[in-house]
């Protein structure tokens, strides 16, 4: 379990997060939603130990994240940031192999187990046709799959994604989120992610936290969090919240205020 207690953080004089507290349990599919600039990515980076200047504490299975060594931590949490530099023309399989870095020996030479793990993940994601292509020549959707493959070979129980569906079309968005759901359901991975798409958040996550001005506005199941009052207040827009007749999950429709009036 990840216990987040009274996390406050900021940049220069601006406080981005104010006393954030919540628990993320094993096998949760945990979504963080909120307006742009409310500190969603900052919170993820604090959980991933990439930002050190904050107050409060984060523990994983009752062990403070600062007490793990860098290598130990990389075997517990894998993180896919919003931006990853893919300008160097590595082949897809070489690029995925970097995820095995925490497990490599002093000279960081991949072992036969590392190669087997990469092959297994390539098979799981069905990206065999991409393995010999250059990472910088792939489309957005293909690249995102490769980045997911890279975090999967890291063999961690917790995987964190910062906007994994950013800039993707609806088909690719759905495919990527289905992969994450499979990882959550079949491989018992704890998934934590930020999303701008409230419908995707409602459809795929089993827990959501809605952040408003750096504070937790609402925390719980999608049905509890995605209520029109909170959404309208946080996003400052008019919405209608309905239940998807097929999945029974809530979905949000933005409404043009002029038409209503």
- Token code pair at residue 178: 């289905």
Stretch touching another protein by CB under 8 A, among 7-15, 98-106, 198-206, 249-257: 98-106
State yes or no: residue 50 binds another protein (CB under 8 A).
yes
Tell me how far, at minimum, the Cβ of 2 lies from another protein, in Å. Answer: 16
Burial (0-12, 13-18, 19+ Cβ within 10 Å), 142: middle
Tell me how far, at minimum, the Cβ of 14 lies from another protein, in Å. Answer: 20
Stretch touching another protein by CB under 8 A, among 80-88, 204-212, 222-230, 231-239: 80-88
State yes or no: residue 109 binds another protein (CB under 8 A).
yes
State yes or no: residue 91 binds another protein (CB under 8 A).
yes
What sign has the CA pseudo-torsion 213, 218, 220, 221? negative
Going by the DSSP 8-state scheme, the letter that residue 133 receives in this structure is: S
Q: How many residues does the chain have?
A: 261
User: What is the DSSP code string of 186-227?
Assistant: HS--EEEEE-S-HHHHHHH-SEEEEEETTEEEEEE-HHHH--
**Among 17, 78, 148, 225, contact with another protein (rule: CB under 8 A):** 78
Residues that bind another protein (CB under 8 A): 45, 48, 50, 69-75, 77-79, 81, 83-85, 87-91, 94, 98-99, 101-102, 104, 107-110, 154
């Amino acid at each position: 379990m990840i216990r987040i207690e009274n996390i406050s953080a900021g940049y220069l004089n601006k406080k981005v997060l104010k006393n954030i507290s919540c628990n993320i349990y094993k096998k949760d599919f945990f979504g963080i939603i909120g307006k742009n600039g409310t500190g969603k990515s900052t919170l993820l980076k604090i959980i991933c130990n990439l930002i050190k200047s904050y107050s409060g504490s984060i523990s994983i299975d009752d062990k403070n994240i600062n007490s793990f060594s860098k290598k130990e931590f990389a075997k517990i949490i894998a993180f896919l940031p919003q931006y990853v530099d893919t300008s160097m023309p590595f082949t897809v399989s070489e690029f995925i192999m970097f995820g095995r870095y925490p497990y490599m020996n002093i000279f960081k030479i991949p072992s036969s187990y590392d190669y087997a793990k990469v092959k297994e993940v390539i098979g799981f994601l069905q990206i065999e046709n991409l393995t010999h292509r250059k990472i910088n020549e792939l489309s957005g959707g293909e690249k995102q799959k490769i980045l997911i493959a890279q975090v999967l070979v890291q063999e961690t129980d917790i995987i964190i994604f910062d906007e994994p569906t950013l800039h993707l079309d609806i088909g690719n968005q759905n495919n990527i989120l289905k992969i994450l759901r499979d990882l959550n359901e079949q491989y018992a991975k704890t998934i934590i992610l930020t999303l701008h798409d409230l419908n995707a958040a409602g459809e795929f996550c089993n827990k959501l936290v809605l952040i408003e001005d750096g504070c937790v506005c609402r925390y719980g199941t999608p049905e509890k969090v995605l209520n029109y009052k909170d959404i309208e207040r946080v996003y400052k827009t008019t919405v209608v919240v309905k239940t998807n007749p097929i999945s029974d999950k809530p979905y949000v429709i933005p409404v043009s205020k002029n038409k209503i009036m």
